[in-house]
Amino acid sequence: MPVIVVMDDDAGTLMLVTQVLKKDGYDVLAAENGVKELALICEHKPTWSSVMCKCQK
């Protein structure tokens, strides 16, 4: 199953999205900020296939 990296600074949203994706059978790496997200991507780069992030102006 693909690994999905999810990042959101809102803890509730991060938890909800992570739980939904895990329930659907995905392996999920969750980060609460961009620095941690990039660290996860670099650490797991051979295995991840999707990145979900929220960008605001």
Residue 38 belongs to domain with CATH number: 3.40.50.2300
DSSP state of 33: S
- CA 57, CA 4: separation in Å to the nearest integer? 24
Which segments of 1-57 are extended strands (E)?
3-7, 27-31, 48-53
Residue 40 has what pLDDT?
Answer: 87
Residue 1 has what pLDDT?
Answer: 66
For the entire predicted model, the pTM comes to 0.75
If one counts the domains in the chain, the total is 1
DSSP state of 26: -
What range does the domain containing 37 cover? 3-53
**Tens-binned pLDDT, residue by residue, of the chain (57 aa):** 678 888 888 899 899 999 999 999 999 999 998 899 889 888 887 776 766 666 565
